[in-house]
Amino acid sequence: MSKTMTAQEQFDRLTTLIPRAARSGSARLDELAREFGISANQLMRDVQELVTRTHYHPAGSVEGIYVGQEQDRVSIWTTGEFHRPRRLSTREALALALGLRILASESDPARREELEALARKLDKELAAAPAEELTPHYGVEDHGGRTGIIAILQEAARERRRCRIEYLKPGLTAPEVRVISPYLLVYAEGNWYTLAHCGERGAVRVFRADRICGIQTLEERFEVPADFDPAEYVGGGRIFRAERDEEVIVRYSPAIARWIVEREGVQPEPDGSVVLRHRVADPRWLVRHVLQYGAEAEVLGPPRYRELIRSSLASILP
C-alpha cells in the first residue's frame, strides 16, 4: 500500500531537489526517487505542482525557477538564491520571524498560537544562526493589548461609545476622518473588521481595522438599533454587504483545484474542478480574483459578470 505524503514531506523533497538539480545542471530521476523513497512518477508530480504554483502565487514569486525534463533526467535552472542549501541567514530568519509574530499579534487566539509555533520552528530548524541574536533589538506591538486599535474598538463597542477614526480607504493616499459607532467587531478572511454606523454616511459601514491609522474614543454614547443584523454583513466567514451583494459562480480548473480545496474546505467536482459561489459586493474584487488565475478560473454566472470579465480582459490586452 502506498503511503500518502504530507504537505510537509512534499515541501522537504522540493527544497532538497531544487538546489541539487540547479547546482549540477540536472539530476537522474531514478536516483532522486530512491533517495526520497518514492516513485519517479511521484517525483515528477511534485515537480509539476511546483510549476503550477504560478496559478496561485502573486506574479513574480516563482518566476526565477525553470524546470525541464529530458528522458530520465530533470533539469532546474534558478536564480542564484536557490543554489545554496535550505538555510536562512540570520537576517532572513529575523525578517520572517518578525513577520510571523506581527501576523500573530493581529490574529485570533487560535491562529496566534499556530503562527507563533511556526516562528519558533523557523528559528530552530531553518536559520543558519539563531534569530534570537537580533530579536532583542526589535519589538512587535501586540494589537491584542489595551493600547491596540482592536482593543480600543472592542472596549468602545462594549461601552457603546463613539470613536473618531482616521481611515485610509483603498486607492487613497491620505486617511479620511470619520466618527463611527462601533456595533460589533468580527474576524473574517484573515482580518479584523468593525461593523459601525458612520456619521458621515448615515448608515452602517464595514471598516477594516488595519486601515484605521488613528483612533480616539469619545464621550458621546450610542445605542445599537434593535433591527441591526450582523448576518447582513457577515456570512460564511466572509465580509459582504447584503443589500448590494450578488451571488457569482466561479469554476476553478483541476490544475489549481487542490489549493482552492485546501483554502475553502470544499469538495472537488467529479472531473477534479471546484465550483464556488461567492457573495460579491464589489465587482472590482471579482475581476481581480478571477484574472489572477488566468485561464484556470471561469465565471459561470450571472451573465453580466462573465461580460465584465471579458471587457476587463479586452481593456488590458493589446
Res 239 pLDDT > 70: yes
Q: What is the pLDDT of residues 225-236, one digit of tens each?
A: 998 888 777 766
| Mean pLDDT value across residues 90-105 | 72
d(CA 265, CA 237): 12
0.75 cut: is pTM over it?
no
Q: How sure is the predictor about 59, in pLDDT bands with cuts at 50, 70 and 90?
A: very low
- Region of poorest pLDDT, from 54-58, 87-91, 119-123, 213-217: 54-58
> CATH for 7-82, among 1.10.10.10, 1.10.287.110, 3.40.50.720, 3.10.129.10?
1.10.10.10
- For residues 40 and 30, the answer to whether their CB atoms sit within 8 Å is yes
Give me the CATH topology for the region 149-232: SH3 type barrels. (2.30.30)
SS3 194: strand
d(CA 213, CA 194): 14
Q: How sure is the predictor about 200, in pLDDT bands with cuts at 50, 70 and 90?
A: confident
d(CA 16, CA 85): 8
Highest mean pLDDT among 120-129, 192-201, 296-305: 296-305
C-alpha cell at 134: 537580533
User: What whole-number percentage of the chain has pLDDT above 70?
Assistant: 64
- Region of poorest pLDDT, from 62-66, 114-118, 175-179: 62-66
Q: How sure is the predictor about 57, in pLDDT bands with cuts at 50, 70 and 90?
A: very low
Q: What is the pLDDT of residues 11-22, one digit of tens each?
A: 666 666 666 666
Q: β-strand 238-239 against 234-235: which pairing, if any? A: antiparallel
- Any idea what the Cα angle at residue 154 is, between residues 152 and 159, rounded to 5°? 95
Residue 161 sits at φ, ψ, to 5 deg, of -120, 135
Q: How sure is the predictor about 55, in pLDDT bands with cuts at 50, 70 and 90?
A: very low
Q: What is the pLDDT of residues 246-275, one digit of tens each?
A: 789 999 999 888 888 887 788 899 999 999
- For residues 206 and 193, the answer to whether their CB atoms sit within 8 Å is yes
pLDDT of residue 61: 45
C-alpha cell at 48: 509539476
Domain residue spans of the chain: 7-82, 90-137, 149-232, 246-316
Question: Helices 109-125 and 90-105 sit at what angle, rounded to 10 degrees?
Answer: 170
With a CB cutoff of 8 Å and minimum separation 6, the contacts of 309 are: 286, 287, 290, 291, 299
Q: How sure is the predictor about 96, in pLDDT bands with cuts at 50, 70 and 90?
A: confident
Q: How sure is the predictor about 222, in pLDDT bands with cuts at 50, 70 and 90?
A: very high
Question: 49-86 in b/e burial notation, b at 16+ Cβ within 10 A?
Answer: ebebebbbeeeeebeebebeeeeebbebebeeebeeee
Give which of 142, 83, 148 is closest to 116, Cα–Cα: 142
